[in-house]
Amino acid sequence: MGISRSENMRRIRSRNTAPELVVRAALRRLGHVGYRLHKSDLPGRPDVAFVGRKKAIFVHGCFWHGHDCAEGARLPKSNVGYWLPKIRRNRQRDEESMLALEAGGWSVLVLWECELGDADALQRRLDEFLRG
């Protein structure tokens, strides 16, 4: 017998996801250390925060945050009345968090799950963001 939907949803993590681990490995390769994870005292709890530099990085799953790529544009197959408003709320909350961080003098980088496959491009983007 397969996994029930509720079991499957329980297994989906909000922290230390595979995309986050890819980004953190790229940061280590570049020598950018000294970051904090999931700073709860910052708007939106950035996945990675360089507090001294006031740089915040969010790693968004395309489906969960409504990206305009193929995965993010995919409609849920069931319980659409729940998922579509939830994804809209996620997008709205993301926007509010970024605006609040920027108003506090922070620079914000959003990395989408679909962008993480090209390691060289990811490293260039991270390095430019953190050196700029």
CATH number of the CATH domain containing 120: 3.40.960.10
pLDDT of res. 104? 98
Q: What is the pLDDT of residue 54?
A: 98
What's residue 73's pLDDT? 80
d(CA 27, CA 49): 12
91 pairs with which residues across the strands? none
Q: What's the sign of the alpha-carbon dihedral 102, 36, 116, 31?
A: positive
Look at the chain and report how many structural domains it folds into. 1
CA distances to 28, 52, 60, 95 from 25, rounded to whole Å, are 5, 20, 16, 26
What was the pLDDT predicted at 12? 58
31 class by beta-carbon count within 10 Å (0-12 exposed, 13-18 middle, 19+ buried): exposed
According to the model, what pLDDT value does residue 72 have? 75
For residue 114, give its domain range. 5-131
CA atoms within 13 A on the CB side of 97: 21
3-state secondary structure of 59: strand
pLDDT tens across the length of the chain (132 residues): 566 655 655 555 567 899 999 999 999 999 999 999 999 999 999 999 999 999 999 999 998 888 998 877 888 888 889 889 999 999 999 999 999 999 999 999 999 999 999 999 999 999 999 998
